[in-house]
Structure 1
Amino acid sequence: MTLRLRPGRLAGLALPLLVACTPGPRAVDALPKDAGPRTSQLAQMKDANDALDAQAARRAAAPAAVPARPLVTGIGFSQVASQPGHTLNQRRLMAMRAARLDAMRDLAEQVHGLRLDARTTVRDAAAVNDQIAGVVSGTIRGARLLRVTPKGEDSYEVEIALDADAVGYIVKAARQR
């Protein structure tokens, strides 16, 4: 018995057969010598799709590289106009430095904690005086400068970070005191 197919039907049958093939030998190599242009095109598309599937499988099987993210970040702000200096450039540099110190204070609050002192005076069932003071004391080592960003015309934002190892070292050193 001989199976005869018309050329138009061959392409319709080849697509499901090519899709069902498992990755392995290339479809282009398995084509008969008298294959038509449409069948050859489908075989090339199948080979290209198999190659993409193999790449996706390799990527899925490979362990994902987890970027080292900072554990603790601190952000500080400072205005240029309020800084001492004779020139605008001096005030800008001082503003960046002040913002960096503010970011360091923010880190110290997160690593060492913040001591709060509060006093409230009540007279005739109404708060007359309410004072809150926060004090942070600690050492920050190994902070990395992530970015310095001008904010508007007159201020800077600085972001710094500590990774998990640096935080562990700082906390260990603070406990030994």
Structure 2
Amino acid sequence: MTRPSKPLPPLGKVLTLSVMSLGMALSACVKMPMRAVQALPSNPAPETAALAVTKDNLDALSTGKQPSMASMAAQKALGQAVPEPVQITGVGYSQIGAQPGKTLNERRLMAMRAARMEAMRDLTEQVHGLQLTSDTTLRDNVIRSDNLRGVVAGEIRGAKTLRIVPKGNDSYQVILALDPSTVAYILRAARGQV
């Protein structure tokens, strides 16, 4: 004698339960974000350590918390010396021919300005970071669209122009820098010591 088999649940229910259990399993794996100084390698370059401390202090400020010496304490706990501020440089490029303007001199000035703004963006990325958003769509196991968007937001003050260099016949390179005293001021401000 055979037992009657139970009817199978509808496919939608099975998929919903599968997705929910997968989501719960993945959420158990997610950890709280760690501070930048905790993610440093065992022997980081002084520039890398300085940027990690700066990032942690700026993150604390952006969340409305009064920054403490937490990132420096974490760094000391890792057995690392507190880094001295270093010069941070940003580089930007721009083409002369792509600029608007009636005369060649106008286009050259616009190219220098555009290269300077790109160098500012480079500095901002180094100090404040880059927020990335990605979206990929698959259909029938074939990528139909793949979008990546980067957003930089921040404030840079005290950047100095080190060089404006013509590159070839149709472009300029601009190099900007935040000197160590400016970086030290940013660090003190982020720590609430100003």
- C-alpha change, 1:174 and 1:80, in structure 2 (3 Å) is farther
How many residues in Structure 1 have an aligned counterpart in Structure 2? 108
**TM-score between the two structures when normalised by the length of structure 2:** 0.51
- Across the aligned residues of Structure 1 and Structure 2, the Cα RMSD in angstroms comes to 2.0
**Structure 1: any 5+ residue segments left out of the alignment?**
1-68
Aligned to 1:139, what secondary structure does the other structure show? Answer: coil
Aligned to 1:142, what secondary structure does the other structure show? Answer: coil
Instruction: Please list, as runs of the form range in 1=range in 2, the aligned pairs for 1:126-141 lying within 5 A after superposition.
Output: 126-141=142-157
1:159 aligns with 2:175: yes
1:112 aligns with 2:128: yes
Instruction: Please list, as runs of the form range in 1=range in 2, the aligned pairs for 1:69-88 lying within 5 A after superposition.
Output: 71-88=87-104
| 1:85-125 deviation per Cα after TM superposition (whole angstroms, max 9, x unaligned) | 11100100010010000000000000000011111111112
Aligned mates of 2:146, 2:190 — CA distance in 1: 32
- Greater Cα radius of gyration, structure 1 or 2: 1
Runs of 4+ in 1 over 6 A off after TM superposition: none
- The question of whether the paired residues in 2 share the 8 Å contact of 1:80 and 1:155 is answered with yes
- Structure 2 partner of 1:146: 162
Aligned sequence identity (%): 59
Which letter maps to 1:142?
G
- Structure 1 partner of 2:61: none
- Structure 2 partner of 1:89: 105
Aligned mates of 1:111, 1:171 — CA distance in 2: 11
- The question of whether the paired residues in 2 share the 8 Å contact of 1:112 and 1:171 is answered with no
